[in-house]
Amino acid sequence: MNTKKDIIQHAKDTLLSESESIVKSISNLNEDFAEAVIKISETQGRLVITGIGKSAHIANKIVATLNSTGTPSMFLHAAEAVHGDLGMVTKEDIILCISNSGNSPEIKVLVPLLKRDENILIGMTANKESFLGKNSDYVINSHIEKESCPNNLAPTNSTTLQLALGDAIAVSLMKLKNFTGNDFAKFHPGGALGKKLLLKVENLLINKSKPEVSPEASIKEVIIEISSKRLGVTAVIENNKILGIITDGDIRRMLEKTDSFINLQAKDIMSKSPKTIDSNELVSVALEVLESYAITQLIVTENNKYAGVIHLHDILKEGIVS
């Protein structure tokens, strides 16, 4: 009976075996890989990725990665292809066929059909001498010494390597196309990731009040302004110029230091040279500023003029985390 210690060791052995398969595959990368990537980057069509069995699942994941990183791609199931789905493939498309053996019956039927319109065929296989290997324009070698499966049967190392090679293709294409963070944002507009890449400070200022007082405002006026605008802060403004900032913390510290504030004004307790951020800046950048200075509010400017206040709570409500 296996103990917990045995189970942990099995897991470690599996991870080590799969990682070694990836490392050993590095020496198999050659000009075929580079040429394939170049052809994919130059095509006016899509990259159609096909496979059967476990390789089909890997193909689906690679398609998702490529589509999200700027390379239009489509999955074609090898078995379904010969029952009508081949109609999805156009003459401009490049085809990547994934098969560990390269000799499965479905692949032998499909490959000649994929080649009849002279589409470029890239084969990802562990056997360069297989049917797929010999009929591909470019071969990406996915050879492994053995699977992690104790019976050397269940696809483990082989599918891990296929997935890693798919990532290598995607990253190489990103580098080739100079794919930037802004490009990535175009394909990920939803969720926390999309907000982190796209949401700007001005988007959190819509319908927001602008707490402000003059430097001569009384402390009572300051307290009323902070309370009514419910942002825990007010800017001190004179002639459209930001002179300082007063937070509810400044009010508490003032009360600790003095018994009477009847003669005090906003300019007497304000913090000068407050931290500001432009309304066109990303909210994720605003969050970095807030965290770096351990503060909860930032004065927002637009064309160097006071535009409002952005609060840490508003950013957290959007689900953006650093």
0.85 exceeded by pTM: no
CB count in 10 Å sphere of residue 172: 17
Predicted confidence at residue 183, as pLDDT, reads: 63
Domain with CATH 3.10.580.10 in the chain: 201-317
CATH code for 4-179? 3.40.50.10490
Amino acid, single-letter form, for residue 215: P
Q: What is the pLDDT of residues 169-184, one digit of tens each?
A: 999 999 998 877 666 6
CA–CA distance from 296 to each of 126, 232, 282 (Å)? 56, 9, 16
CB 94 within 8 Å of CB 108: no
Dihedral angle over CA of 126, 129, 132, 137, nearest 10: 100
77 is in an annotated binding site: yes
Q: What is the pLDDT of residues 8-25, one digit of tens each?
A: 999 999 999 999 999 999
Enumerate helices (H) and strands (E) in the chain, giving the number of each. Answer: 14, 12
Domain with CATH 3.40.50.10490 in the chain: 4-179
CB 245 within 8 Å of CB 235: yes
Q: What is the pLDDT of residues 200-212, one digit of tens each?
A: 888 888 667 789 9
The chain-wide mean pLDDT, for the chain, equals 90
Q: What is the pLDDT of residues 195-250, one digit of tens each?
A: 666 788 888 886 677 899 999 999 999 999 999 988 889 999 998 899 999 998 88
CB count in 10 Å sphere of residue 223: 17
Task: Specify the CATH architecture of the domain 201-317.
Answer: Roll (3.10)
